[in-house]
Amino acid sequence: MGIKLRITILNFLEFFAWGAWLISLGGYMINTLHFTGGQVGSIYATMGIASLFMPALLGIVADRWINAERVMGLSHIILAVLLFWVAQVRSFDNMYWIMLLVSMMYMPTIALSNTVSYSILEQKGFDIVKDFPPLRVWGTIGFIIAMWVIDFLHWTLSPMQLYISSIASLGLGVYSFTMPACPPENKSKGKSLVTSLGLDAFRLFKQRKMSIFFIFSMLLGASLQITNTFGEPFLHDFANKFSQSFAVQHPSILMSVSQMSETLFILTIPFFLKRFGIKKVMLMSMFAWVFRFGLFGIGSPDGIGFVFLVLSMIIYGMAFDFFNISGSLFVEMEAKPEIRASAQGLFMIMTNGLGAFLGGTASGWVVDYFTRGGVRHWPHIWMTFSIYSLIIGVLFMILFKYKHNPEKIAHVQH
């Protein structure tokens, strides 16, 4: 088996295991387990908590002591056990703590899968910049296929989604041990714990421009998981009125259009960045979130309402990619070379860590606030999120000062 095919399988399984439950778990918890919006939001917020420290900690382990492919393999084997366990849990308290452990095991493997892929490609003499992206896209394909499998087998409201993820994680865990060795390069030796954890970049907060950027990264990061958390519960709540509609019958397939859009919009980023600059591209992302939530608010499974839902899925690609990719490029351009890795880590902490935690927690409160007698008033819920995104966009436009330099962007892209 060729090494590129082996790395393709690694990335496919990495995101298949996540896609099996990330989008549909919210519907299972609300409709089957009857958790409140706050409880569901807090469980999704565990990914934010785990992202604050676990990727850095396991990254240090892989840098100093244990081969990266083995750290990844062990993480997925433990993850498989946890997912099998949580599939049998029905109480919120137990599910919360087990899902926190699940997040602590899974979130670091996203970076580890990249580390393993990069290391092996380098060993074999491949060009990472050229050869890795076509392999990584199979991760997104794996995520989408997992959603489709769960949907077609009618497991979106069943714990079977967690069992499927458990099987995929176990398979990936064992498979990881068969990958070529990725030994520690001792990159972290001699560094302080602060440096190894990527905390050096906090000095960037002394710069007004960077502090504003990172604060808004956290505020916008709060939006990233909201539709992942509550998108399917929203569609399932149409079951009484539109039980035979495509949106209710196949919510995961409809939601997967968002991931398809993501793979397309990422290809347009170089054009938009060069033409409009990072500030305008990030503003496009922020206002895309306004439409993402707003279209959910006026959407429904029938007629023009269904068109609005599909448009919301399509615009997700711009909302997600234009912020994450352009934000990462901005950090790459503005941080000094000696702290660029730490700065990228800080960007992830602010978005996937603090942002995701705040978004998961606060969105749960919003859902519960607009729930009366067990009925969730989704138009009010989605419009609240839309107004929040609008406020963030307007404030960013006013407060963030940045002059577009096409040559600087072209240099970073190359």
Q: Is the Cβ–Cβ distance between 209 and 335 less than 8 Å?
A: no
pLDDT of residue 284: 95
Distance between first and last Cα of the chain: 32
pLDDT tens column, 40-84: 999 999 999 999 889 888 888 888 889 999 999 999 999 999 999
Q: Is the Cβ–Cβ distance between 360 and 230 less than 8 Å?
A: no
Q: Would you say the CATH fold of 200-414 matches that of 1-180?
A: yes
- Burial (Cβ within 10 Å: 0-12, 13-18, ≥19) of residue 229: buried
Residue 216's closest CA among 50, 315, 355, 70? 355
User: 375 - beta bridge partners?
Assistant: 372
Q: What is the mean pLDDT of each run of 10 residues along the chain (414 residues)?
A: 93 97 96 96 96 86 88 97 98 98 95 90 86 88 96 96 98 97 72 65 85 93 90 94 94 95 86 86 94 97 95 94 83 76 79 92 96 93 97 95 64 50
User: 376 - beta bridge partners?
Assistant: 371
Domain range summary for the chain, segments of one domain joined by +: 1-180, 200-414
CATH of domain 200-414: 1.20.1250.20
Domain 1-180 homologous superfamily, CATH: MFS general substrate transporter like domains (1.20.1250.20)
pLDDT of residue 187: 58
Half-sphere exposure of 306 (CA within 13 A, CB side): 12
pLDDT of residue 349: 86
AA letter at 206: K
Q: Is 131 helix (H, G, I), strand (E, B) or coil?
A: helix
Contacts of 361 (CB under 8 A, 6+ apart): 38, 41, 42, 45
